Structure 1
Amino acid sequence: MGSFRNQLNIFFSATEMLRSILLLLCWLLLWRLAVLMEYAPHASIWFPPAGLSFAAFLVMGLRAMPVLLLCSIIATFWVDNMYQSEQDWLQLANSGILFGAAHCFTYWLGASLLRSMVKSLVADVLPKAILSFLVIGSVTALTAALLGTQALAISGMIQSSEVADIWLPWWIGDLAATIVLTPLFLGLLSWRYPQIDSWLAGLDFHLQDQPLQPYLIKQGICILMLSAIMLLAYAFPYPEVSFAVFFLIIPQMWMVYTETAFRATMSLAIFSVLTAIWVALLGLMEQALVYQFAITVIAASAYFGLAVPVLAAHNKQLRKLALNDGLTQVASRMYFFERAEQEIARARRYQQPVSLILFDVDHFKQINDDYGHTAGDTALVQVAEKILTDLRQSDLFGRFGGDEFMLLLPNSDLQHATDTAERLRQTLMRIALTQTPRRLSGSFGVIEVNPQENLQQAFERVDANLLQAKRQGRNQVVSSPS
């Protein structure tokens, strides 16, 4: 048994080591891509490693710290080799550690804060999580840029006077990558770290089974539109032309509303990569900030677009709860009175009769006492279902509370309403309850609404008729003229 446990520990250690190596290689590859698109010293059009660092700390926590710190040190030596600055290796190591500490600590702190905030959410999880991500991601990228430039200045990699010129493009590059790529990296990392599902809550970026061809067609349209806009900006080098890139929010939102969250984030990543490549290839560096802001704004809008279906479903559920009784699914008391006032006003306007019925189940308390509240709830559901089958589509059926139900009968005079109540009374007696051998009966009060009275006055009259039916022995209909 001990040998098996040791082998298992070795396996998981080897797996963790492999993940760390893959993280290191991916980070360095993304860093190299960012360097190729630099438009200012130490500032790229976007900086993909920022998004990977943020996602890694969200998923792995402090376990990602040694790997990402090593990445920062390697990147520092790589930069020295690229720029041929020929600094002392000890100074480079010091610069790498300072830069790595600023980068890693900042993104770890931001990821920890976001993770704890998402865990604490109990309602409207996805919209609030997206807002938290955008705010914390923006502040984290800003802090990383400020601390990173200071770290380079302290270590002698840049002059102190250069900090003021570097921090803004550094921040925007980090921000663009953090906002765009973190959700995509979360989706990719979640395949290997399924435990993050417990705190991601509404943030589902997994692949789902959907046809691939429509997605590829939409993606092709997005790529063509982006290419056309970038070529247009190259052909007409005016600052105003560069703002045309913001029109790409339309196809990206189309993608969001018709594809899975994972594919939507993938589309944003493709859009961002191609934008950065076009800027570098066409030499549109003077307008780099415009394109960086466009990447960030379009991504943020797309993420809020992901929340729209969730909010719509939530609002639909709330509306259903407000309109329908939670147990019987007939109209709730509040909705019944709201609709009843409208129907009475309409009947008065067109001089049509409208009647009101109030009934309850006789001796219902005994069902709860003898067979339990579950049996009582089941009986109420059966009553509501059976009564509904005996009503017209125009009739309004609601639950007043407990075992009392209300009916509003548009275009029905007192005689028609009384006949309806009698039919329903007999219907109750024919219901065969599933959880109790008892037979049901009901007491009914019926009135025709007087054109001069309001709903409250009408309800008081019909309630008085119901009380009279109970006093007279129950299981009967009592009606009275207006």
Structure 2
Amino acid sequence: MEYAPHASIWFPPAGLSFAAFLVMGVRAMPVLMLCSVIATFWVDSMYQMEHSWLQNAFSGILFGAAHCLTYWFGAWSLRTLVRSLSDEVLPKAILSFLIIGSVTALSAALLGTHALAVSGMIGSNEVSDTWLPWWIGDLAATIVLTPLFLGILSWRYPQIDNWLSGLSFQLQDQPLQPYLVKQAICIIMLVAIMLLAYLFPYPEVSFAVFFLIIPQMWMVYTETAFRAALSLAIFSLLSAILVALLGLMEQALVYQFSIIVIAASAYFGLAVPVLAAHNKQLSKLALSDGLTKLANRTYFFERLEQEVTRSRRNQQSLSLILFDIDHFKQINDDYGHTAGDTVLMQIAENIQQDLRQSDLLGRFGGDEFMLLLPDNDLQQSSGTAERLRQSLFNISLEKAPRRLSGSFGVVEIRTTETVQQAFERADANLFQAKRQGRNQVVAS
């Protein structure tokens, strides 16, 4: 993929350097500097330039300084920026990576070409012809391959996951066969498009490669982050190989830009599952009680309204139970509020085990709970309340070594009353149960 002397439009070491500095920081500097010097001697031998070892060493040090310092500063800037983000970290981190990665690759190209000019490896008039393909090569590798190298390096340095906000490159136990099928589809499509470009040498044909964004996005949405990164790397590597084999260098820039665009789109696709999980968690927090994880008051009444409408439409019975824990204040006074919170969590866990999947248990506040029983008449719901009352007595508490009891108010919601009226009747029955001595069920 050599586009000009000393400039390749496919330069994987740029992606590795950026990933190494992201994971290891300045500790990656010595080995990357050494690689830069060795590469300079290799280039001198490849082009048979016959420079002295001293000039090659000087050129290698200048090139290494331009390459390493640029990618180190870009990586440091990205890490610093990502760690300063407080919300929606992953999408912002991806956008920051694309911007900083592009600027870093451009800076490395400009400084690298001038370093070679200063050291005499290229003439000053060659800088203008060299920096653009150099930038494209570094940019393609930085954008496409950095995530793959991050994934590989994170196996040795797992702390990288701590600042990626839910995006993990660790290997997971997922079936391999579906991934191989998807990968085969991507490869077949790429080979077919490149063969068309070879058989029909029109510039417009090469743009068909952008259709590969479809299978790549399919890969991103259904596979792990590491497999998605590996797929992009295979796609870009195979593109470079086919361009060389089929002699498509005139369209090489189109293929490289397509790789960059597809990779950038895929990275935002990686954020979708993470954002969906975060939204699901936020929704769950918004609808549940923070302590017991039961339905909170707002969600319970929303479901109550829905169940009332459904039960009346289907002419089914619907019952409501309110109950609280007898003398719960004494538990807080005797053992502390932490013990009281533990008791509430244990009660919620035990009661849920005795309910049907269609039943909804919620916490009204304090030690008062609500229970919605679809398709239950007054007799059935009274039996449920009695069973729960007895189960409270059998709960063994670690934080508060005493027996529990509860008072229950039960109603079957009438077709002629509102939700508020039904709730007030249940609350009145609960109050009557407490007034009559507690530890009992009152139903009407």
Q: What band does the TM-score fall into relative to the shorter chain?
A: 0.7 to 0.9
Give 1:239 deviation, angstroms. 1.8
**Residue 305 (structure 2) pairs with residue 341 (structure 1):** yes
Give 1:235 deviation, angstroms. 0.4
**Residue 147 (structure 2) pairs with residue 174 (structure 1):** no
Give 1:146 deviation, angstroms. 3.2
**Residue 132 (structure 2) pairs with residue 142 (structure 1):** no
Give the aligned residue type for 1:225.
Answer: M
Q: Is the contact made by 2:186 and 2:212 (CA closer than 8 Å) also made in structure 1? A: yes
Q: Which residue matches 2:249?
A: 285
Q: Is the contact made by 1:187 and 1:205 (CA closer than 8 Å) also made in structure 2? A: yes
Q: Is the contact made by 1:443 and 1:476 (CA closer than 8 Å) also made in structure 2? A: yes
| Counterpart pick for 2:64 among 86, 100, 125 | 100
C-alpha distance in 1, partners of 2:384/2:178? 56
Q: Which residue matches 2:363?
A: 399
C-alpha distance in 2, partners of 1:451/1:76? 87
When residues 459 and 244 of structure 1 are mapped into structure 2, their CA distance, relative to the original with a 3 A threshold, is same
Unaligned runs of 5+ in 1: 1-36
When residues 270 and 454 of structure 1 are mapped into structure 2, their CA distance, relative to the original with a 3 A threshold, is same
| Counterpart pick for 1:360 among 300, 324, 327 | 324
Give 1:110 deviation, angstroms. 1.1
What TM-score, normalized to structure 1?
Answer: 0.77
Give the aligned residue type for 1:431.
Answer: N
**Residue 248 (structure 2) pairs with residue 296 (structure 1):** no
Alignment of 1:439-450 (within 5 A): 439-449=403-413
C-alpha distance in 1, partners of 2:360/2:6? 70
Give 1:102 deviation, angstroms. 2.3
Give 1:174 deviation, angstroms. 0.8
Q: Is the contact made by 1:357 and 1:417 (CA closer than 8 Å) also made in structure 2? A: no
Give the aligned residue type for 2:236.
Answer: S
| Counterpart pick for 2:169 among 195, 198, 205 | 205
Alignment of 1:83-98 (within 5 A): 83=47, 95-98=59-62
| Counterpart pick for 1:423 among 386, 389, 398 | 386
When residues 87 and 438 of structure 1 are mapped into structure 2, their CA distance, relative to the original with a 3 A threshold, is closer
Q: Is the contact made by 1:421 and 1:446 (CA closer than 8 Å) also made in structure 2? A: no
SS at structure 1 position matched to 2:364: strand
Q: Show CA shifts across 1:347-382 (max 9, x none).
A: 455666644332211111222333444553454345
C-alpha distance in 2, partners of 1:335/1:455? 14
Which stretch has the larger CA shift, 111-120 or 199-208?
Answer: 199-208
When residues 401 and 164 of structure 1 are mapped into structure 2, their CA distance, relative to the original with a 3 A threshold, is farther
Give 1:177 deviation, angstroms. 0.6
C-alpha distance in 2, partners of 1:469/1:78? 90
Q: Which residue matches 1:24?
A: none
C-alpha distance in 1, partners of 2:58/2:228? 41
When residues 344 and 52 of structure 1 are mapped into structure 2, their CA distance, relative to the original with a 3 A threshold, is same
**Residue 271 (structure 2) pairs with residue 310 (structure 1):** no
Q: Which residue matches 1:384?
A: 348
Give 1:164 deviation, angstroms. 4.9
C-alpha distance in 2, partners of 1:372/1:255? 53
C-alpha distance in 2, partners of 1:479/1:265? 62
Alignment of 1:120-139 (within 5 A): 129-139=93-103
Alignment of 1:229-248 (within 5 A): 229-248=193-212
What TM-score, normalized to structure 2?
Answer: 0.82
Q: Which residue matches 1:433?
A: 396
Q: Which residue matches 1:115?
A: 79
Unaligned runs of 5+ in 2: none
**Residue 117 (structure 2) pairs with residue 186 (structure 1):** no
Alignment of 1:219-238 (within 5 A): 219-238=183-202
Q: Is the contact made by 1:356 and 1:447 (CA closer than 8 Å) also made in structure 2? A: yes
Q: Is the contact made by 1:356 and 1:417 (CA closer than 8 Å) also made in structure 2? A: no
Q: Is the contact made by 2:62 and 2:115 (CA closer than 8 Å) also made in structure 1? A: yes
Give 1:268 deviation, angstroms. 2.5
Q: Which residue matches 1:463?
A: 427
Q: Is the contact made by 1:425 and 1:476 (CA closer than 8 Å) also made in structure 2? A: no
Q: Which residue matches 1:12?
A: none
C-alpha distance in 1, partners of 2:182/2:411? 61
Give 1:221 deviation, angstroms. 4.2
Give the aligned residue type for 2:79.
Answer: R
> Identity, % of aligned pairs?
78
When residues 90 and 421 of structure 1 are mapped into structure 2, their CA distance, relative to the original with a 3 A threshold, is closer
C-alpha distance in 2, partners of 1:437/1:81? 83
SS at structure 2 position matched to 1:140: helix
When residues 320 and 192 of structure 1 are mapped into structure 2, their CA distance, relative to the original with a 3 A threshold, is closer
Q: Show CA shifts across 1:281-304 (max 9, x none).
A: 222122112111222233333434
C-alpha distance in 2, partners of 1:235/1:170? 29
Q: Which residue matches 1:19?
A: none
Give 1:88 deviation, angstroms. 7.8
Q: Is the contact made by 2:167 and 2:274 (CA closer than 8 Å) also made in structure 1? A: no
Q: Which residue matches 2:29?
A: 65
C-alpha distance in 2, partners of 1:358/1:151? 79
Q: Which residue matches 1:320?
A: 284
Which stretch has the larger CA shift, 88-97 or 284-293?
Answer: 88-97
C-alpha distance in 1, partners of 2:375/2:183? 56
C-alpha distance in 2, partners of 1:419/1:336? 20
